[in-house]
A = this chain, B = another copy of it.
Amino acid sequence: MKKKLTLIKVGGKIVEEDASLQKLLDDFAALDGCKVLVHGGGRSATRLAEQLGIKSQMVNGRRITDAETLRVVTMVYGGLVNKNIVAGLQARGVNALGLTGADMDVIHSVKRPVQDIDYGFVGDVKRVDASLLGDLIDKGVVPVMAPLTHDGEGHLLNTNADTIAGETAKALAALFDVTLIYCFEKKGVLRDELDENSVIHSMDEADFRRLVGEGVIQGGMIPKLENAFEALNAGVSGVIITLASEINSQGGTHIRK
């Protein structure tokens, strides 16, 4: 039987404010079994870019990453945010290892082709090599993954943290019984956007199609859920969408095949 592994993806806001970061690290440290943390860091990147006089340009929520911006995100995601999480977890007895996709060639990507928009040094994930990662997890190491990958030609690439979480979960599913938890700012997928207590507790793909048809699920939640079903179809055991403060509860929206 495969060991259980929980892969948690948290956005920038949670890891960038000290109080919410400390709370997250406490909750994450309390999780049983094998685990992986994938983090963002966009707000800190925007702040550093501002301080350096570099303009942050976002298109559809994605950062246009020119050479200067790539330096900023490499410093913030790969250095500041990642290493502070690692040190904070070590203080809690969690043997964390901070990684970008370049480290041990874990995530190989390709620079996004220019179509309507030139996103610059942004990577689309090509493959995740989970073999060395799996060995380390098996030995009790807890990978902490920054949203950066590489193209194998010496270039780092800014890469969406949701995508890194999904692709890594899929690759690890060959070795572990993986639950993927996407933390976001609501308690789960809501039946009524204005009612925080209208969480849909469980959803399969048929429910999803129906709810999209009824207009209950819309906007950015659609690709998020499509990714969740893709992960399930690729062998991930369960996907949960919930608040970061609820990763140890049974709350949130549980997505199943």
Contact = CB atoms under 8 A, between A and B. Distances in A.
Of A102, A139, A152, A154, most buried by chain B (CB within 10 Å of CB) is A102
Contacts of A76: 75, 79
Contacts of A86: 100, 102-103, 150
A13 to B, nearest CB: 18
A98 B100 contact: yes
Interface in A86-103: 86-88, 90-91, 95-100, 102-103
Given A100-B98, A104-B97, A132-B139, A79 B75 contact: yes
Q: How many copies does the complex hold?
A: 2
Sort chain A's interface into a size bin. Answer: 35 or more
A156 interface: yes
Chain A's interface: helix, strand, loop or mixed, by majority?
A: helix
B52 A87 contact: no
Contacts of A83: 74, 78-79, 100, 102-103, 148, 156
A105 interface: yes
A80 interface: yes
B90 A102 contact: yes
A69 to B, nearest CB: 13
Interface string A149-172: 010111110000000000000000
A249 interface: no
B75 A152 contact: no
A82 B156 CA distance: 11
A185 B67 CA distance: 30
A212 to B, nearest CB: 39
Interface of A: 48, 51-52, 71, 74-80, 82-84, 86-88, 90-91, 95-100, 102-105, 132, 135-136, 139, 141, 148, 150, 152-156
